[in-house]
A and B are shown apart, each in its own frame.
Chain A
């Protein structure tokens, strides 16, 4: 009945705000805002400790390179509506395998790395196969994978193995200079490369579309002609591959193998993905959000270390609390829609 009046300026602004509030990117914006706020808070709190420097930002990428790669793998799985609890174990297993082969058997790294990646990918593919073929819930299959790989770690060796191989050490300490007197490690650059590949394959390839379709609704995806089984297996393979790659980066970062390395890292990876705005139920989210999630978690770690008096276990607690807070945020946003 009412004539279509030209909307007033505030109404237009309100509508723009509403469209932002309703957009799928909103969780990413929220995370970006949180990151900026936390960084500003850190900068003002630790003024005289030189928090506001390029190297602190670069260190975020260096210290969390393995987490970024693991979280990228987890993003694929969670976008498809599944979950992978075996990430931390696969990383721990990879560190053990690499350390044993390099240190004890003196294999060259260029031979060990592809082997480790193949083992991780095969493990992921196997889990994906069981999940799809026998319709067993992903969490129970990957939970069994968690225990299997962690057990295999201890079968290889119960003790921690230090890597003293010169080639590995040189690779680990190599610095790639950046403008402004900062530098990145090889691990950080590799993790960013993985991120770029993931962004491309999720947002610009057929495989990426299938992953989103699968997460949106498996039934609809099936009816649309998406090869659900192949996609599902591929998704877990990608996750296993990424976990193994993260394990290699972790080995490079910490230069040792230990059966208890990366214990509980799956929570960090899942937390990074969820904080980055990917829905737990799948079908919606961005890889770039995962990067932001990793950076937020990394910033928490950095701030706890800057604080000096806080112990490392606060990191675990903070990660858990942040994860829950963002899940609750998802619920609230989900309800509004």
Chain B
């Protein structure tokens, strides 16, 4: 308790090199980056040319490029989810929204008189984005305006949205034959378009949130929506904005997916994207209790997932078991983020009582940027106010 050292993991007696190592290790991007590099190195013995990038038929070619192509929709979904999770919300409907956007766009392309015309692809993309916008508004309305728990509001769209997508596609897989629409998820010169789109969205989001006050406002709403509102932040509007943004990101991902395969499958397009997105966010160090977000971490997290999938595939692990693996990773990362778990772990390592370890962890709190939630607060339903009344209306 009365220990003057600010953090139990950085004793001041140690030489500076050790300390600087600790400093690097406590950087929030350190562990995701280590994971990424480790995963890539795992591939090296079985795939000698793993890091080589070549040209084939005028396109960049290589394992890393494949991972980037596979990951770009995840990055998009992850970026949208990061902002939603930063407001202490969640969006489970991203996969369904991606399916709706892709189906709506393909529905338009099939109906167009000239499928190959650029105007057709543009209009289709516009329709897909509009669908994503509408879904985001729908979620945002129920979460921000009506004060419904984000999980339930977006779970509704997660399931009903698949129904809507099937309705648009009339229960069939729509296949399109449009060279201009294929460009959205295809190649722009030597580069795959997905990477460029994802990079542009990430850059724009970082600019918008970190160069303006928007990021701070989002974090303040996530930290304590009521306090933010009393401080003059329009909490509801911020929440609405993040859900709309998340819907748009999911729609872009859906457009990319459908364009990449030149088809829209209402049932399977974007399936389990909510898991991949959430996993990317938590791997990147954004706490699910909101109040803090790291877009760079999310991008790294998405890359880790993409590399993991690629590695499992290369090692011959059946693709189906990915879900088990990812579900387990989500739990493990959440455990690592849980202050209670950390305290227990420290106590076990140092053979000190749990209470002491918890107190030390709490005193080291400012040093640990990942943990933003109240360590002593009860775990309750997110979105539900912690107030003791049963019929509390939040927001």
Contact = CB atoms under 8 A, between A and B. Distances in A.
| B contacts with A: majority SS | helix
Contact of A313 (B171, B289, B324): B171
Given A134-B335, A313-B163, A82 B152 contact: no
Interface string A122-158: 0000000011111111111101111110111011001
A270 B335 contact: no
B156 to A, nearest CB: 4
Interface residues on A, range: 35 or more
Contacts of A317: 160, 163-164, 167
Interface string A298-337: 0000000000000101111101110110011001011101
A118 to B, nearest CB: 20
Interface stretch (A48-56, A64-72, A100-108, A278-286): A278-286
A144 B330 contact: yes
A300 B166 CA distance: 18
A152 B324 contact: yes
B159 A319 contact: yes
Contacts of A216: 388, 390
B288 interface: yes
B201 interface: no
B392 A281 contact: yes
Contact of B328 (A131, A148, A267): A148
B228 interface: no
Contact of A267 (B158, B327, B379): B158
A136 to B, nearest CB: 5
B86 to A, nearest CB: 15
A217 interface: yes
B69 interface: no
Interface residues of B, number: 58
A164 interface: no
B160 A141 contact: no
B321 to A, nearest CB: 5
Contact of A133 (B167, B326, B340): B340
B321 A151 contact: yes
Contact of A136 (B92, B377, B379): B379
Contact of A328 (B146, B325, B390): B146
B320 A151 contact: yes
A281 B391 contact: yes
Contact of B330 (A147, A218, A311, A333): A147
Nearest to A132: B379
A175 interface: no
A219 interface: yes
Interface of A: 81-83, 85, 130-141, 143-148, 150-152, 154-155, 158, 215-220, 259, 264, 266-267, 270, 274, 279-284, 311, 313-317, 319-321, 323-324, 327-328, 331, 333-335, 337
20 contacts: A135-B339, A141-B331, A147-B323, A151-B321, A154-B320, A158-B320, A219-B378, A259-B320, A264-B162, A266-B155, A267-B156, A270-B152, A281-B390, A311-B167, A313-B167, A324-B142, A324-B148, A327-B152, A333-B391, A335-B393
